[in-house]
Amino acid sequence: MLQFLKYTLATLTGLVLFSFVGLVLLFIVLAAVLSSSESKEEVKPNSILCLNMEGTLLDRTEDDIYSVVFGDDDPMLGLDEILKSISNAKSDSCIKGIYLKSGLFSAGYASIQEIRSALLDFKKSGKFVVAYSGAYSQGGYYLSSVADKIYLNPEGMLDLSGISSSAVFYKGMLQKLGVEMQVVKVGTYKSFTEQYTNTEMSQANRQQMEVLTSSMWNSILAEISQSRHIPVDSLNAAADDFMAFQPQMRDVRLGLVDGLKYVDEVQSELCAMLGLNADEEIDMVSPSDLILDDADQRSGSQKVAVVYAVGEIDNGNTDGINSSELIETMNKLRKDSDVKSVVLRVNSPGGSAYGSEQIWRAIELLKAKKPVFVSMGDYAASGGYYISCNATKIVAEPTTITGSIGIFSVIPNLEGLMDKVGVDYDVVKTNRYSDVPTMTRPMTDSERSMMQSFVDRGYHVFVKRCADGRSMPFDSVANIAQGRVWSGASAKEIGLVDQLGGLDETIKMAAKEVNVDPYEVEYYPKKKSWLDNLLDMPSLGMDKVIAAFSLKKEYQVVDRVTKIDRLQAIMPYGMEIK
C-alpha cells in the first residue's frame, strides 16, 4: 500500500509539474508575441514609406510563432503587403515619397519585377523614390534601378554579373552507396531526374537553360537600361567585369548609381526633399502602417476572389499546396453568388500529377460558372502549369518560369546498399506483381514497360489538358512541351500565356471581364493570426511541435519524403537561378 501511495504521489507531482511548466511556456509564448506586436503608427503629414528590402520575399506571410519566440535570422517579406502599401502610398496625401533600403535580399525575379512595376506606377503620382544600400545584390539593384536617385555607400558594393543556372548531381554518391534510381519519364527536356542519373546537364537541358536565362536576363537589362538610360551593351560589358569587385567610383561613372553617400547624408537629402532642416526627424512608416487588414479597401458588394496556390503540390511539404483544401476553396467560390470572378495566384514548381489533375477539374467546374484568371508568380511550371492551363486568361511576368509540361516517376533500387550493409530480404507473394513497386530489387522488363505506359498515359492527359485549355491543336502543344521550361516572355510568344503583367493587372482584367465596378477583393486562404497558430499547436502532436521549434526545416524535408506522390509533374529540382 505504501508503495502504491508513493507511485501515485509521484505521478500526481509529475502531472502538476508538467502542467506548471506548460503554463509557464504558454505565458512565455504569449509575452513574446504580445511584445513583438507593433501597434500601427499614425501616418503623419510629410511622411515617407520605408521599404526595408532585407530577407526572403514570399507571396504572402503570416504571423509565425517560431520566429516570434526564437527570432529569425532570415526575416520574411510579404509581396502582398509590399504591393498594397505602395498602392496605398500613391493615393495617400501624407506620403511624399518612398525610401527603398536594399539589404541581403532574396527573391525571384518575377516577384521583383512586380514590385518594380508598382514603383513605376507610384512615380506617376509625382512623388519621389530614393534608393540606398551598402551592398546591392543583383536583384536588389534591379529593383532599385527604378528609383529617381540611387546611392551607394562609399565602401559598399553593387552586384551586376548576369544570370546563371546551376544544378547538383548525386549519381556518383548514389553509386558508392549502392543505390540505383530507376527513372521512367516522358519529355526530352524533363530534367528533374538528371540529378540521379547524370554527372552533368544533358544537352537538351543545357539548351533550355541557356534560352531561359538569356530571356530573363534580356528582360532585366531592358528595364534597367530604360530607367538608367544606359545602353544594354554597356550593361552587359559591366556585368562581364563583375561589378561587385570594381571600385565604387566606376558605378558612378557608368551611371549605375547617382552618387556615393553615407546613410546620414542620404537622410539629409531626404530632409531637403521634404523641406525639413537637416537635423529634423523624418516620419518613416512601414508597409504595415498603410494596410488596415487582409482585404482590399475597394468598396462594392460584388467581389473578385484571389486564391493563392503557392509551393509544391501534395508532396508532404507543410508550406505547399494541399489539393483537397484548394479544391474545397474553389467549390465554395463556385457556389458564392457574390463572387463574380476568380484570380488564381500560382507560384508553384509543380508536384503530384494526380493532385494537379484534381485541381484542374475543380477549376474546370468553377470556370463553367464564372471566369477564372491565373496570375503567375516566380514559378508556374509542370504541375503549376497543369493547374493554370484551363484558365480563362493566363498572365505572367516576363521573368516567370513556366511550361515544363512533362511527367516522370522514380523508384529507388536499394539492393546494392542492402548488400553493402549486410541486409537480406525475402518475399512471399500470391501473384506475379504483388510486391510491385519495391525498392529491394531492380524492376523487370515487364514492370518497366508497364510503368512507361502508365507515365505515357499521364503525359498524354497533361498535354490534352493544355491543348484544350489553350484552344491549341494537340500536336502544337506536344511540340513545345517535352518538359521544356520557358520564361514568361517566351511563353507568351508560343501561346502558353496570354498577357504579361502582375497580380494587380490580373485582378483588374478579372473585374473587367464581368463588368463589375466598384468591387471588393477577397483573398484566400484567410491568413492565420499568431493566436490561430498557437491554438493549432495541440492538434499537431507533440512530435510536430518539437520539430517546428527545434528542427523546423529538417522535419519538413523528412515529412515530404514520406508523402511524395509516385507520379510527378515538377520542374527541374534544385535548379538555382541567380
| Active site residue ranges | 190, 382
Is the omega angle on the peptide bond into residue 518 within 30 degrees of 0, that is, cis? yes
Distance between CA atoms of residues 296 and 80, nearest Å = 11
State which H helix or E strand residue 352 sits in.
Answer: strand 350-352
How far is the first Cα of the chain from the last one, in angstroms, to the nearest whole number? 72
Is the omega angle on the peptide bond into residue 247 within 30 degrees of 0, that is, cis? no
The grid coordinates listed for 137 are 545584390
Residue 343 carries which DSSP code? E
Is the omega angle on the peptide bond into residue 525 within 30 degrees of 0, that is, cis? yes
The grid coordinates listed for 535 are 491554438
In 10 A of CB 568, how many CB atoms?
29
What type of residue sits at position 4?
Answer: F
Buried b (16+ CB within 10 A) or exposed e, 431-458: eeeeeeebeeeebeeebeeebeeebeeb
DSSP E strands, 237-301: 259-260, 284-285
Q: Tell me if residue 402 falls in helix, strand or coil.
A: strand
Length of the chain: 578
CA distances from 76 to 61, 82, 101, 106, 231 (A): 7, 12, 15, 10, 35
Distance between CA atoms of residues 279 and 267, nearest Å = 9
Contact 345, 311 (CB under 8 A): no
Distance between CA atoms of residues 304 and 281, nearest Å = 41
Distance between CA atoms of residues 349 and 110, nearest Å = 14
Q: Tell me if residue 380 falls in helix, strand or coil.
A: strand
